[in-house]
Structure 1
Amino acid sequence: MSENVGGTTTGEQDGELSRGGRRRLRATHDWAKARGQVVGVVAAVARWAGTLAALLLAAHVVLTVGGANPDNAITRFVADWSQPLALDFEDLFTPEDPQLAVLVNFGLAAIFWLILTSIAVRIIKAFG
């Protein structure tokens, strides 16, 4: 049997041999738990990023269809950030009414981001 005294042991356990024939206990890491935590954080960041993209696109739709002042700083900010997030959905449908075009195209882009985010999070969690 071994006896643990002040962080050292006098028995036959795994560890490094220190002076005097005593073995030090080696710290063990739970790599599976750490990997699961990292995967969880990456999945959460992906979910937040995709949700934020969808929210910006939805805000652009609401501001445009609601008739917000296009010269307002908030409206310009949302419009500027939603343009690259719309990807190729921006001009997918070209109805005569520009508000309907924004509703359909940017609405589809928002739905796309939500679906893409959901799939990406499932794939990320599958590796955890």
Structure 2
Amino acid sequence: MVTRRWHGTSTRGSAARIITGIGALFAIIEVVYILLVVLGANAGNAFVQFIKSLAEPLALFFPGLFPIANPTLNVLVNYGLAAVFWLVVASLVARLVR
């Protein structure tokens, strides 16, 4: 027996997967930056600077949202919120697309 799918459903499902993947990628960038800061990576290293250059614009309005005196905890909280934000927003947009 051959099962046929409506072409539009397959396309929407693919678009939803791409959106979810992009949100996950953005969240991963934020988490990698958090780990580099928390683990004390050399801030002068080219890889650390590259990840930072990606993470800062993706963090949107979250850096400085909660002013915390401890710089490590500040990055953990504010960039962690940004990572969660990207996962939630990508999930909601993917559901709308489906």
The within-5 A match list for 1:92-111 is 92-111=65-84
Runs of 4+ aligned structure 1 residues displaced above 2 Å come to none
TM-score when normalising by structure 2:
0.91
Q: Identify the residue that residue 58 of structure 2 maps to in structure 1.
A: 85
Tell me by how many angstroms 1:34 deviates.
Answer: 1.2
Q: Identify the residue that residue 22 of structure 1 maps to in structure 2.
A: none
Letter of the structure 1 residue corresponding to residue 65 of structure 2: L
Instruction: Please give the alpha-carbon distance, in whole angstroms, between the structure 1 residues aligned to 2:16 and 2:50.
Output: 27
Instruction: Please give the alpha-carbon distance, in whole angstroms, between the structure 1 residues aligned to 2:94 and 2:70.
Output: 36
Q: How many residues align?
A: 95
Instruction: Please give the alpha-carbon distance, in whole angstroms, between the structure 1 residues aligned to 2:14 and 2:41.
Output: 37
Identity %: 37
Instruction: Please give the alpha-carbon distance, in whole angstroms, between the structure 2 residues aligned to 1:77 and 1:41.
Output: 30
Tell me by how many angstroms 1:116 deviates.
Answer: 0.8
CA RMSD of aligned residues (A): 1.3
Q: Identify the residue that residue 93 of structure 2 maps to in structure 1.
A: 120
TM-score when normalising by structure 1:
0.71
Instruction: Please give the alpha-carbon distance, in whole angstroms, between the structure 1 residues aligned to 2:61 and 2:32.
Output: 18
Higher helix share: 2
Between 1 and 2, higher relative CO (CA 8 Å, sep ≥ 6) is seen in 2
Instruction: Please give the alpha-carbon distance, in whole angstroms, between the structure 2 residues aligned to 1:49 and 1:90.
Output: 21
Q: Which has the larger radius of gyration?
A: 1
Aligned counterpart for 2:13 among listed residues 22, 29, 40: 40
- Aligned residue for 1:69, secondary structure, equals coil
Instruction: Please give the alpha-carbon distance, in whole angstroms, between the structure 1 residues aligned to 2:88 and 2:13.
Output: 19
1:72-112 deviation line (CA, Å, top 9, x unaligned): 11111110000111010011011111111100000011011
Tell me by how many angstroms 1:46 deviates.
Answer: 0.2
Aligned counterpart for 1:49 among listed residues 17, 22, 29: 22
Q: Please list every run of 5 or more consecutive structure 2 residues that lacks an aligned counterpart in the other structure.
A: none
